[in-house]
Structure 1
């Protein structure tokens, strides 16, 4: 078995340099990297942040001016004949956003760029809220109706904006399906290892990977995924509706308790973040660009604004106006980065394990981001009964973050599959691939004691390809969003008809039927 997995890992070895090259391009060329400040940023970061800044100014800082309206939309209770509620859509997208990256990603940014990375993470999230608004509105405008559900997202609006060519939509759909499927084993690995860690902490026993415990967790996980994903969008949202708010509240709550234990260190956090944003300590390279690049990159990878991965959730909502879902998804970025990710940052910075006085061998642990975080927790509450409790709860949250992300991956792959074919056979094939192939594969890597680092890079590779595809499409289609926002403001949020902004859509306005029939072409 080990030889089999090592062979697979070897096959995908070529993925690592390709993924790194595309994520870092053109910083991997000396002539570019020598440029002051800007030479620290890859094309991907410039595209994502640059578009966010552009959208923010063009829409009059909509993420600020309509922040309260977004909250009001979330708490409103309305009957829905099709699709899911805005709140359910918000929780579904949050299931994808709030993942293990909120712990290990943020910890990694601080470990490399210092506390100042958090400041730049906030900055990227602020502009990312505008980007999330744009892609969510496009997803809503060009969504389609399937039975009693709505489907849409990048493949759907990508096709319409790029000349209404179905081939383009199919390519985007396949790209996302591949991305989603190859993200599943990593999330499976996170779930199994975190749950086993919880059991080990409770029992005080270290279990071998081939023990009954790991097999039991594997069976339970596969069964849970199968039961959930084969119920479709409504089945998954019933789970995310319950898990997302619970795990978010629990994680924030446990962090607040840790902060209360260390109130004297709160000023240290803010001082370190704002000072480190412009002048990182020597241990983190001492260069302004290091904190900047790490904060922006990790922030974008955490909240996923502009990557197109949340657009499937945005399309599922039944709402009166596409702009309403844009406001809801902007709030999702806020929750993910400004709240959840910041809580992680507070713990890591208050502990400051890199400081000599901490007594921690920083160089020996900084490579493992989860170890850094859990050690930070233990450092801030040493020798208390709360120490073990906090470790258990955080490990459990980590596993739940991964579980909801896994469900989201399979569901959004299914929605992409809906673009290719709405047949039951196609949809069940995608569900089966996720539940019976990729989830068990991730479990087997745990049982074999392997992590298959090269294989995980496939998700990084496809992710950057999606970014390079999605952001230009957003820039080409943003005029439609601007018109929709003007319509929303002028009508004070009245029922939307896409014909009012000059385009035909399947769900919002068609010259022939004004109903749920697909139009022939889109007027740009």
Structure 2
């Protein structure tokens, strides 16, 4: 299995995808005149705008679901892996892909809103929907079906195991619990929520994700303050390393860029095609509103949470850097033995745990038997982050299942839930290397299919941003912007052509009647 997965990953995560994702993000950013800077304040305002309906969730709930998928093991274990393979400079490339990736996130999320539809009494949207409607014809259906199948496989089977594996690894660092016990507990916790539908997932995500993210960043700020004198030198190290100017890491620049982009995409998911599923479920008056909110979620994930992890690791010096073969360029002494008995130098949660333990306990070296504040805190942070990510994965897989079945086979949802739960349990008892490699394969396949699609279908999304900006300028605020696309220019946007105008008419009639009664 490992050999097959390694071979496929070599094909999927080749240079064209790595550099192509950077190029696509840059292209969209230029095309929209770096909207991620111009509309930064608007992103924050729209995030808390409370539009919702019986069939749609609010922008904040959609943000919480998408952040559930984004903020997870990639923010803690993924950052550690990036540093291990690419050194400190890999963090710069994670930042860059996040900044540029906001463009891709806007396009895909806005398209999800434009082409969303009401299925089984709730909004459904995402790449499968906008690919079919945007491309049209037989090609559109075949392409959309391929994406849906790949996404069900990735989010329903390949990716959940990474999250549960990371939970098991961090918990056993802090508590003497067998992996199968942790797996059994996760099966119960996940099963209690996923069968409650999107609103159940949205309620849990809205309560857990913002709370844990704020606490996590707050702890990182404390570590930064405790080591404030090292901040300038640390950022200098990151930037010098990123461009090969740090002699120590000059020989791994290629690996640094590749792993920075790869882990950045895995973490913030911009262009990958997962975020649009939650975006399509939101109730908004204009697709660009949710596009801006989802673009901001990329900042939250990478520029806030990933940076917090990187600072805690790098400031305390608790990390190793591989030379690309069997040796180490940097050896801080953070070594662990994996469940299969092999010594593990990197890619584990141990870096972050060791960094926090050192910061708050003052111990100078890594001690595998020492369990301090850092070990406990990261264990619980990963538990909450990864748990909500698993819930988000189920929602994404379910959305694509509904797309394929049109909601006609209720038993299929139950089978999907069972498959995901089995993946969660298997992830807790499998090796970390295989779990991550399978997850990378799923992410790469989705990214290839989605990036090609949004490049082809970008026009309506860019036009939507221009329309939103025009209305904002005319009305003095984007709050009152309403989307009314020309049917000849944006075909198949059935919700905006028929359902939404009818609702506006109904609301207008209701408001008029209410005023007459009041008189």
Normalised TM-score (structure 1): 0.83
- Return the offset for 1:180: 0.9
Q: Alignment partner for residue 124 of structure 2, among 147, 151, 165?
A: 151
Q: Structure 1 residue 456: deviation in Å?
A: 5.1
Secondary structure at the residue paired with 2:494?
coil
Question: How many matched pairs?
Answer: 471
Picking from 358, 371, 374, the partner of 2:353 is 374
The 1:223/1:362 distance shift into structure 2, 3 A limit, reads closer
Q: 1:361 aligns with which of 323, 333, 356?
A: 333
| Cα pair distance change 1:145/1:374, threshold 3 Å | same
Query: 305, 309, 314: which one pairs with 1:344?
Result: 309
SS at match of 1:145: strand
Q: 1:97 & 1:218 partners in 2: Cα distance?
A: 22
Match of 1:168 in 2: 143
Q: Give the direction of change, closer, same or farther, for the CA distance of 1:320–1:513 in structure 2 (3 Å limit).
A: closer
- CA 79–456 in structure 1, closer or farther in 2 if over 3 Å, else same: closer
Looking at structure 2, the residues matched to 71 and 304 of structure 1 have their Cα atoms a distance apart, in angstroms, of 20
Matching residue of 1:465: 445
Q: Which whole-Å CA distance do the structure 1 matches of 2:421 and 2:245 have between them?
A: 41
Measure, in 2, the Cα distance between the counterparts of 1:445 and 1:187. Answer: 8
1:501 deviation in Å? 7.2
1:29 corresponds to which residue? Answer: none
Mapping 1:30-109, distance limit 5 Å: 42-109=15-82
Task: Find the residue that maps to 1:227 and give its secondary structure.
Answer: helix
- The answer on 1:232 being equivalent to 2:197 is yes
> 101, 105, 115: which one pairs with 1:128?
101
Q: After alignment, is 120-129 or 456-465 more displaced?
A: 456-465
Correspondence for 1:394 among 355, 368, 378: 378
2:241 aligns to what? 276
Query: Once structures 1 and 2 are overlaid, which stretch shifts more, 70-79 or 97-106?
Result: 70-79
The question of 1:430 aligning with 2:420 is answered: no
How far apart are the structure 1 equivalents of 2:100 and 2:427? 38
Change (3 A) 1:219 1:112: closer
* 1:439 to 2:428 alignment: no
Q: In 2, distance between residues paired with 1:392 and 1:136?
A: 36
Distance 1:491-1:383 versus aligned 2 partners, 3 A rule:
closer
User: Which residue in the other structure is 1:301 paired with?
Assistant: 266
Determine if the alignment matches structure 1 residue 478 to structure 2 residue 458.
Answer: yes
Residues 479 and 359 of structure 1: CA distance in aligned 2, closer, same or farther (over 3 Å) = closer
* CA drift at 1:196: 4.3
Could you report, residue by residue, the CA deviation over 1:348-404 in whole angstroms, capped at 9, with x for unpaired residues?
211234599x983267753243122222222333348x9722321111111211111
Cα distance in structure 2, aligned partners of 1:513 and 1:103: 41
Unaligned runs of 5+ residues in structure 1 are 1-9, 25-41, 201-205, 517-524
In 2, are the aligned partners of 1:484 and 1:501 still within 8 Å (CA)? no
Alignment partner of 1:189 is 2:147: no
Report the 3-state secondary structure (helix = DSSP H, G, I; strand = E; otherwise coil) of the residue aligned with 1:150: strand
Contact 1:365 1:371 in 2 (8 A): no
TM-score normalised per structure 2 = 0.84
Q: Which residue of structure 2 lines up, in the alignment, with residue 178 of structure 1? A: 153
Given that 1:94 and 1:332 are in contact with CA atoms closer than 8 Å, whether structure 2 keeps it comes out as yes
Q: Distance in 2 between matches of 1:85 and 1:259?
A: 35
Q: Aligned partners of 1:250 and 1:351: how far apart in 2?
A: 19
Q: Is 2:508 the counterpart of 1:508?
A: no
Residue 486 of structure 2 corresponds to 499
Q: Give the whole-Å Cα distance in 2 for the aligned partners of 1:452 and 1:365.
A: 10
From 74, 99, 114, the counterpart of 1:141: 114
- Quote the offset at 1:487 in angstroms: 1.4
- Say which of 313, 317, 335 aligns to 2:300: 335
SS at match of 1:307: coil
- Which residue pairs with 2:5 in the alignment? 15
Q: Structure 1 stretch 360-369 or stretch 114-123: which is displaced more?
A: 360-369
Q: CA deviation at 1:276?
A: 1.8
- Alpha-carbon RMSD across the aligned residues, in angstroms, is 2.7
